[in-house]
Each structure stands twice: as structure tokens, then as C-alpha cells.
Amino acid sequence: MSKQLSLFDVQPALRVEQPKKLMSKDAVLKWKLKIFNYQQRTLKTEPAKQTSLFDAPKSHCDSDLINPFELQLHSSQFYRMREQGDHEVPAYADRNCLYFIIDNSLPLLLYVGETKQTAKQRWNGVHDCRDYIMNYLELHRKHNLEVRVCSAFWYDTPSDRKSRLKLESELIKKWQSPFNKENWRRWGQPFGKI
């Protein structure tokens, strides 16, 4: 007599991970050019001006007034500066801030983040963006492409986390930074999790 199979006792099939297909040199260049063109148009778009006496004046924390490409640049591994004995530890080390990861070879704004933790605490352990940066650098080196990943910080951020998160969200939307998950549908995830 044969035993009836249950729908709930099925063993999963052995799943073999396929190696991730790397982007070709041409695909990387096209991907970067699309983002660069979008961000350059964003740079050239003037912020809305006050149109009446009754409009509230723009705050210094207005996303239209923050240009990540005009900020002082630091190492892309800013979270390791103290570990490496760097004597020039930037002022952001113990302050609320917005931070930006930039490939200064074009330039491209790759990531926007916020933190009230020190830089080392924020990126200590697992941080997906750190992995994206490493994959991005590795692919550029494989294809012998110029790459200059760095970080920049905006210190004059609101101390209230809700306001900081709102500002971060506005900047992610404005610049369409490809390493932020909010923009993966637009740019894909060639350097991160799939």
C-alpha cells in the first residue's frame, strides 16, 4: 500500500547559488552616466524662491540649500580614522550629521545618510552601504576605471531625529542617490544585495 504524500512535508530542492554576473565596463559607464546626468540637472535647478510676504523664509536646514558636492571631503573610510591614528579627526566625530558618499571622479552622489552616533559607532559592524562601496571599488579596479570614493559631512543638521530623518529623505529623493534603497527601483542594485 502506498503512502499519500502531504503537501506540507515536501523537502525543499537543493538550491545552488549562481555566481553573480558582473557588470561589463560599458554597462558600468552607462549606469554612472545616467546618474551623473540626473544629478547635474538637479544641480542646475534653482531652488524655489519666496513668492509672497506670507511665505515662511527658507530654513538653513532646507534640502534645496545643501549641496553635498561643495562640502569638505574626507576618506571613504571615515569610520576608521581614529583606529588608524589619524591626528586630524574631523569635527563630525561626535556630532549629529548628515553624511554623503561621493565618487569624486565624475562626481556622483552615491549615498545619503544621517546619524547622531559617532562615525565609528554608525558604521561599526554590518552596514550595507560599506559593502556597496567595496563592491563598487572592486568593479572599477577590475575594469581599470577611475574611481575616487570619498565622504562629506553636513554638521548643521537638526538635533531632533525626526527632523533629521525628514531632511535625509528629502535629499535622497532630490539627488536619487543609487546606494539608498529608496532609489533601487530606478537604478537597480548592481553593487549590493539582490
37 residue type, one letter: N
Q: What is the pLDDT of residue 90?
A: 52
Q: What is the pLDDT of residue 122?
A: 47
> 106 with 125: CB under 8 angstroms?
no
Residues in the chain with pLDDT values less than 50:
7-8, 10, 18, 56-59, 83-89, 91-92, 118-120, 122-123, 194
Alpha-carbon span 28 to 124, nearest angstrom: 29
- Alpha carbon separation from 164 to 3, 53, 59 (Å, rounded): 61, 27, 13
C-alpha cell at 161: 531625529
> Could you read off the pLDDT of 87-132 as tens digits, one per residue?
444 544 557 889 999 999 999 999 999 876 544 454 455 567 788 8
Q: Could you give the domains of the chain?
A: 67-187 (3.40.1440.10)
In the numeric block, the cell 525543499 is attached to 12
β-strand 149-154 against 73-75: which pairing, if any?
Answer: antiparallel
pTM here is 0.75
Q: What DSSP character marks residue 124?
A: S
